C-alpha cells in the first residue's frame, strides 16, 4: 500500500538528545561515535557506565532535566532534509512529529517548545505522548531510532524505517542520514 502519512520521531532523529543528555550530568563523551552499542537506548545505563556509578532509576535519571534542557537541544543534521523529503512525498498535512516524553512535565513542555522553535512552519502536526504503535496503519510510515518502536509499529500493520544510531542494530552504517533519505525515497516509491 502506498505511504500516505509519515510519522517522524523527535529525539535523536530531529534533534540530538543522547550526547547532550550525558554531557548535562557530567559525562565525558564528546560525540555520538563514542557511544557504545552495548548501552542500547538506555541513556541512564550509559551514564552509570561513564560515571562509574550505580544506575539510577529512569524516573530519577530523567528528573534531572529541565524544560530549558529539552527546549534547546541541538537540531540534528537529518532534521530539515528529512522533513523536506517527507513533505515532498506525502505533503505537509500528512507529516507528523511523534514523540513520547518522560513522566516529568518539564520534558513535555520543553519538547513542545522545541517543536515550536525549531520545526519549519510548514509542519504543524505533532503528537506528544501516545504509544507510537497506535498510529500504525498500512499507509503509515514511522521513522524512528528505537528498534522496539519500529518493531511494534510494523507488528500493528504500519511500515517503518529504523534510523541508524549507535544504540541500535544499524550502528555500523557509515552515513545514517544518506541511508534514511534513500530508504524513505525507496519505500515511498515501491509500495
In this structure, what CATH number is given to the domain that contains residue 117? 3.40.50.1000
pLDDT digits (tens, 9 = 90+) for 68-113: 999 999 999 999 999 999 999 999 999 999 999 998 889 999 999 9
Q: How many domains does the chain have?
A: 2
- Residue located via cell numbers 510548514: 122
User: Quick one: average pLDDT of 134-163?
Assistant: 96
Residue with cell 525515497: 185
Last-in-domain residue among 26, 52, 70: 70
Look at residue 6 and tell me whether its pLDDT is greater than 70.
yes
CB 98 within 8 A of CB 9: yes
C-alpha to C-alpha distances, 181 to 39, 45, 74, 176, nearest whole angstrom: 26, 30, 20, 9
The three cell numbers of residue 157 are 500493520
63 and 147 assigned to the same domain: no
- Residue 186's pLDDT is what? 67
pLDDT at 191: 42
Residues 36 and 79 in one domain: no
Both 149 and 170 in a single domain? yes
- CA dihedral for 178, 183, 184, 185, sign (positive or negative): positive
Task: Tell whether 101 and 136 lie within a shared domain.
Answer: yes
What's the pLDDT at 140?
97
Range of the domain at 121: 5-16+74-190
Same domain, 101 and 130: yes
Examine the pLDDT at 189 and tell me if it is beyond 60: no
Quick check: 190 pLDDT over 50?
A: no
Provide the b/e sequence for 88-121 (b: ≥16 CB within 10 Å): ebbeeebbbbbbbbbebebbbbbbbebbeebbee
Q: What is the mean pLDDT of residues 41-56?
A: 93
- pLDDT higher than threshold 70 for residue 21: yes
Q: In this predicted structure, what is the pLDDT of residue 187? A: 59
pLDDT at 122: 64
SS3 179: helix
Task: Give the pLDDT mean for 46-69.
Answer: 93
Tell whether 11 and 23 lie within a shared domain: no
Task: Tell me what pLDDT residue 174 has.
Answer: 87
For the chain, give the mean pLDDT.
Answer: 91
CA 5: distance to chain centroid? 17
User: pTM for this structure?
Assistant: 0.92
Residues 37, 114, single domain; the answer is: no
Amino acid at each position: 500500500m502506498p505511504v500516505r502519512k509519515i510519522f517522524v520521531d523527535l529525539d535523536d532523529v530531529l534533534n540530538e538528545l543522547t550526547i547532550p543528555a550525558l554531557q548535562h550530568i557530567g559525562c565525558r563523551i564528546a560525540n555520538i561515535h563514542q557511544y557504545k552499542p552495548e548501552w542500547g537506548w538506555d541513556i541512564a545505563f550509559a551514564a552509570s557506565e561513564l560515571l562509574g556509578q550505580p544506575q539510577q532509576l529512569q524516573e530519577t535519571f530523567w528528573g534531572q532535566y529541565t524544560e530549558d534542557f529539552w527546549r534547546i537541544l541541538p537540531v540534528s543534521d537529518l532534521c530539515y532534509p528529512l522533513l523536506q523529503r517527507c513533505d515532498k512525498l506525502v505533503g505537509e498535512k500528512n507529516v507528523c512529529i511523534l514523540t513520547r516524553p518522560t513522566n516529568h512535565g518539564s520534558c513535555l513542555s520543553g519538547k513542545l517548545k522545541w517543536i515550536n522553535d525549531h520545526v519549519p512552519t510548514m509542519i504543524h502536526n505533532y503528537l506528544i505522548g501516545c504509544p507510537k504503535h497506535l498510529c500504525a496503519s498500512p499507509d503509515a510510515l514511522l521513522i524512528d531510532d528505537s528498534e522496539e518502536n519500529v518493531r511494534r509499529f510494523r507488528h500493528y500493520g504500519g511500515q517503518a524505517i529504523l534510523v541508524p544510531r549507535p544504540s541500535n542494530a544499524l550502528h555500523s552504517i557509515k552515513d545514517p542520514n544518506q541511508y534514511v533519505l534513500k530508504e524513505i525515497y525507496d519505500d515511498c516509491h515501491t509500495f
